[in-house]
Amino acid sequence: MKIKVAAEAVSDRQIVGLFEGEKQKEIPEYFKGKLGQVEVVGQKIVVGLGKRGKFDLEAVRAASSAAIKKAREVKAKVVATLIHGEEVRGINPKDAAKAVVEGAVLGIYKFAGYAREKEDPDFQIEQLILLERDKKKLKSAEAGAALGRIIAEAENHARDLVNTPSNKLTPTDFAKLAERIAKVNHLKFTSLDPKAEGMEALWAVAKGSDEKPRLVVLEYEGDPRSKEKIALIGKGITFDSGGISLKPSKKMYEMKCDMAGAAAVLGVMSLLNDLKPKKNVMGVLPLTENMPSGHATKPGDVVGSLSGLTIEVINTDAEGRMILADALTYAKIKGATKLIDIATLTGGCIVALGDVVTGIIGNNQRLIGKLIDIGELCGQRLWQLPLYDEYKESLKSSVADIKNSSETGKAQPSTGAAFLSKFVGDTPWAHLDIAGTAFLDKSRGYLPEGASGVPVRTLIEWLNS
């Protein structure tokens, strides 16, 4: 879909917005303007913008997404749209245009899949034209649209990776893809063999699988004179069977999504050379499968780690924290001064928060607060969960420095974070548990069924702030 901003356009459909309770001639009485409500009236696609007093950028995205889906349904080739929300409640033309494009590009996403026979041959909208009649605002709207486009496309790319089945995206495939992305974007690329590097915790997860693990590192240097370095660390389990602590088979197929953290980090890294934030950023991707086999780690085994700490493996299904432990240690060794890890870490996070909000836990309130605020603006909500000492105590082992899981299974998100905190030390750190938000059973607004792409936009806006 081509996207442009213009003062006027010839199009076969025109998207217009209407606030709840407000009237426009030609628009039928029953159309109430509820956010995301759509109605085709002649050549117009009317979309509800919700209550004027509640209007924000997330409403722009929702409306834009609903309207573009309708345009696809009616097979419009060239679609023109008003820039919803411009000048409403202080929203500037750039941000409004950006949100319109984000909503459209994210909303129209569909995973291509592998079916040879398709019911409805995929129809594509050829062009989306944002109408900006005020010539003075054209440049800002253009900048916003261009930005919205690359960011939404990076999030869609992350979705594609998460939706890709594990036989089509092995750790080796993932590393090759990361290398390609690094090359195109002039990022430094390193791919390590975890076993040879002494990453014993990562290796403990990988050794049950026939697929070779990797630790991939991508580096962007936006502030060469500074020693500050942000590390984004993404859990990259390309399939989580649970290992010897095998998961129940029901819904196990969804565990192809267990690399959503790594996919999000790769999505963010792919944007840095375009956006050029003045920050040094390192993306660290521990990549492996978690499989049962005759050479898999067994419950009760004690393994080492890159940090030197020994770990008693209580549950081989608590594998995310094992690979993150070594990735966090690696980032610290390489000089990271701020750590953010993103992981589909615990089923307990889904129990607590469902699929509507990501859990966030860490040791630095400023960093956590900032991420929560930015997540809210992006429509990617974060909710803080606690990290009390009691959670750390529940991981005391009688045979090693730490256990990878408490036997009780209580407070999994906090216990998981407590495990990670042992490897983090005092470096400012935030842990994002995206187990619930990374993969959806049902589409919702501009989020499709399956991979959501969280939290690419939040992280990129944070880096840009």
Q: Which residues of the shown chain bind ligand BES in the complex (CB under 6 A)?
A: 240, 258, 315, 317-320, 344-348, 350, 405, 409, 412, 435
- Report the partner that residue 187 touches, choosing among Zn ion, ligand BES, none (CB closer than 5 to 8 A by kind): none
Using the minimum distance from each CB to ligand BES, give the nearer residue, 97 or 162. Answer: 162
Using the minimum distance from each CB to Zn ion, give the nearer residue, 56 or 258. Answer: 258
The CB-of-370 to ligand BES minimum distance in angstroms stands at 26
In angstroms, rounded to a whole number, what is the distance separating the alpha carbons of residues 56 and 54?
A: 6
341 sits near Zn ion (criterion: CB under 5 A): no
The CB-of-176 to ligand BES minimum distance in angstroms stands at 23
Question: Which residue of the set 176, 247, 370, 392 is catalytic?
Answer: 247
Using the minimum distance from each CB to ligand BES, give the nearer residue, 335 or 409. Answer: 409
Burial class (CB in 10 A: 0-12, 13-18, 19+), 172: middle
Q: Which stretch binds Zn ion (CB under 5 A): 204-212, 264-272, 296-304, 313-321?
A: 313-321
The CB-of-237 to Zn ion minimum distance in angstroms stands at 5
The CB-of-25 to Zn ion minimum distance in angstroms stands at 56
User: Among 153, 289, 317, 341, which residue sits at the site for Zn ion (rule: CB under 5 A)?
Assistant: 317
Question: Which residue of the set 94, 149, 321, 422 is catalytic?
Answer: 321
| Residue 444, strand partner residues | 447
| Whether residue 247 lies in the annotated active site | yes
The CB-of-408 to ligand BES minimum distance in angstroms stands at 10
Using the minimum distance from each CB to ligand BES, give the nearer residue, 346 or 363. Answer: 346
Cβ neighbours around 25 below 10 Å, total: 4
The CB-of-412 to ligand BES minimum distance in angstroms stands at 5
DSSP state of 296: S
Using the minimum distance from each CB to ligand BES, give the nearer residue, 270 or 421. Answer: 421
**Cβ atoms of 187 and 282 closer than 8 Å:** no
Residues 6+ apart with CB under 8 A from 72: 108, 123, 125
Which residues between 207 and 266 bind Zn ion (CB under 5 A)? 237, 240, 258
Burial class (CB in 10 A: 0-12, 13-18, 19+), 115: exposed
Q: Is the dihedral of CA 230, 163, 205, 362 positive or negative?
A: positive
> How are strands ordered across the β-sheet holding 38-41?
2-6, 127-131, 78-82, 13-18, 44-48, 38-41
- Report the partner that residue 346 touches, choosing among Zn ion, ligand BES, none (CB closer than 5 to 8 A by kind): ligand BES
Q: Which stretch binds Zn ion (CB under 5 A): 45-53, 211-219, 317-325, 438-446?
A: 317-325
The site for Zn ion, by CB under 5 A, has a size of: 6
| Whether residue 188 lies in the annotated active site | no
The CB-of-313 to ligand BES minimum distance in angstroms stands at 11
Using the minimum distance from each CB to ligand BES, give the nearer residue, 31 or 111. Answer: 111
Name the residue number minimizing CB distance to ligand BES: 347
Burial of 187-197, coded b for 16+ CB within 10 Å and e otherwise, reads: bebbbbebeee
C-alpha torsion 47→51→53→55, nearest 10 = -40
Nearest to 332 by CA among 307, 308, 309, 310: 307
The angle, 0 to 180 degrees and rounded to 10, between the axes of the packed helices 365-378 and 456-464 is 120
Using the minimum distance from each CB to ligand BES, give the nearer residue, 123 or 253. Answer: 253
Residues 6+ apart with CB under 8 A from 409: 348
Q: Provide the CA 386 distance to its chain's centre, in angstroms.
A: 22
Which residues are known to be catalytic? Answer: 247, 321
Positions in the binding site for Zn ion (CB under 5 A):
237, 240, 258, 317, 319-320
